[in-house]
Chain A
Amino acid sequence: MLIAGVFRGELGANPVETLTHETGQWGLRFLLITLSITPLRRLFRWNRLFSYRRMFGLFCFFYIFLHFLIYLVFDHYFDLRSIIEDIIERPYITVGFSGFVLLIPLAITSFNAIQRKMGRTWTKLHRLVYLIAILGVIHFWWLVKADILEPLIYGMILTLLLAIRFYYYRKRKAR
């Protein structure tokens, strides 16, 4: 969809910016979709959604990986030193890069075989997704110039999803 857009010149005057923005947005959206599956199960008993959670999680990783790749190639042309400089000096990139790095072990351990081998550790590792989502929203927030409405909306959705989980967590603990 985006690739077709490149060749048809539909990405606007700054196609790199459009690609970066869109891949980032879709990564964040799939992340939030992934995070909404358990709340939806708990609230409405939509258990069939559960089998899609891994798929959405991997879509998220795919888009974030592309997002990073575009940045790597078109912003820095593989110049390692300037990338490291960015990661250290630009807070919004520190946060974004950290989110990406943390996503990697989650993506790698997505498969049934590994999940079985890891047992309880798998669950603990994958709780990192909460932190990753928070880092993603902050990354977006910190790069916007003046119109914070979009990152704010993502932030509100994330807060809601985390709040629902927290509510069920407290309920379980109370029992």
Chain B
Amino acid sequence: MTTYFGSRKSRLFRPRSAQALFTDNDVTDQKLFEQRRRFITAGGAISLAAYFPHLALANVGKFSDKFANLKKTYSLDDEPSTYEDITSYNNFYELGYSKTDPKENADALQIDPWSVEISGECDKPGTYTLEDIITPHDFEERIYRFRCVEAWSMVIPWTGFPLADLLKRFEPNSKARYVSFETLYDESRPLPGQKRNVLEWPYREGLRMDEAMHPLTFMVTGLYGKTLPNQNGAPLRLIVPWKYGFKSIKSIVKIHFTETQPDTSWNLSAPREYGFYSNVNPQVNHPRWSQRKERVIGQLFKKDTLMFNGYEQDVAALYADMDLSKSY
């Protein structure tokens, strides 16, 4: 296992055009994680799956063309977490409360058929099928840091498209100052974890419009170049990399444009502990534990947490005139 002591400054992501060279990408899978391989890929759009054919054999489902034509738009120097770890260590309470329950109960989530209800302050509300939602968009691959509020983190190669591109299609009007999201909840057929109210179901999250339209905010459909597994929030989830992981809502069924700040599940559950913004911030501790360090999954020793999870250059401006210790 890789270990290091103290902090390690990881360089920020660099946007890459489709023709850019792809260097320093250490991708290790479970059997190979002792080895490091350096890839240099030139030209065009190449999917990670091309280098790991055994991963590509897995089902990419309805959108296989899109997965086959991934553009790599963001990368990191950090070593990505293994597919095994990413898909077996999840907080997805709808499927159970331990980290391993979501994978074990993954089959409880029915993702076909799937539709998303768009409503609120916009000109094109309605119920859109998953195909309606996804078809107009090309898929990109972005390698993002993911930081849980519990002080562990991963580096994950997500597949998806910018949330901004999706939201623009629904034509939000000038009253839309926030956008809220909901996860699946069918009271007549609750998922295993929804049988107890550890949280108020359905799971809800929300963003300010400028956060939602930010270029980093990503609507995710896949992982490591293949379809998102159920335990990771299939078939459609959000990733907001500069915020704690619970803001990155999974298995989305509703998107709602609103004038007022929406309720969010963890804030409802413990308002002193989980705020609306929940930006990764080593200077603002959780009331019960410190946020100064995090355990990178796959490494033994903790590393220092970065302001805005290392995306400070990209997002600090959104919060320039806010007191982040109050707006946590």
B-binding residues in A (CB < 8 A): 12-14, 16-17, 74-77, 85-86, 89-92, 142-143, 145-147, 149
Contact = CB atoms under 8 A, between A and B. Distances in A.
Interface residues of B, number: 26
A89 B152 contact: no
A13 B297 contact: yes
A90 B289 CA distance: 6
Nearest to B297: A13
Contacts of A145: 150
A14 B302 CA distance: 12
Contacts of B288: 90-92, 142-143
Interface in B136-186: 150, 152
A76 B323 CA distance: 29
Given A77-B301, A149-B196, 20 more contacts: A12-B89, A12-B99, A13-B88, A13-B297, A14-B99, A17-B295, A74-B300, A74-B302, A76-B302, A77-B5, A85-B290, A86-B290, A89-B285, A89-B290, A90-B288, A91-B288, A92-B288, A92-B289, A146-B97, A146-B198
A14 B269 contact: no
Label chain A's interface by main secondary structure. helix
Interface in B252-301: 269-270, 285, 288-290, 295, 297-298, 300-301
A145 B93 CA distance: 11
Label chain B's interface by main secondary structure. loop
B28 interface: no
B69 interface: no
Contacts of B150: 145
Interface of B: 5, 84-85, 88-89, 93, 97, 99-100, 150, 152, 196, 198-199, 269-270, 285, 288-290, 295, 297-298, 300-302
Nearest to B269: A146
- Nearest first, the 5 A-B pairs at minimum CB distance are A13-B89, A13-B85, A147-B97, A146-B198, A13-B297
B191 to A, nearest CB: 15
A21 to B, nearest CB: 10
A128 B302 CA distance: 34
B152 A17 contact: yes
A147 B85 CA distance: 23
B300 to A, nearest CB: 6
A14 B295 contact: yes
Given A91-B288, A143-B288, A147-B97, A16 B300 contact: yes
A76 B99 CA distance: 23
A142 B89 CA distance: 22
26 contacts: A12-B88, A12-B99, A12-B100, A13-B85, A13-B88, A13-B89, A14-B99, A14-B152, A74-B300, A74-B301, A74-B302, A76-B302, A77-B5, A77-B301, A86-B290, A89-B285, A89-B290, A90-B289, A91-B288, A92-B288, A142-B288, A145-B150, A146-B93, A146-B199, A146-B270, A149-B196
Given A86-B290, A90-B288, A92-B288, A14 B300 contact: no
Contacts of B84: 13
Contacts of B88: 12-13
B297 A75 contact: no
Nearest to B299: A16
The winner among A13, A17, A91 for most chain B CB atoms within 10 A is: A13
Contacts of A16: 295, 300
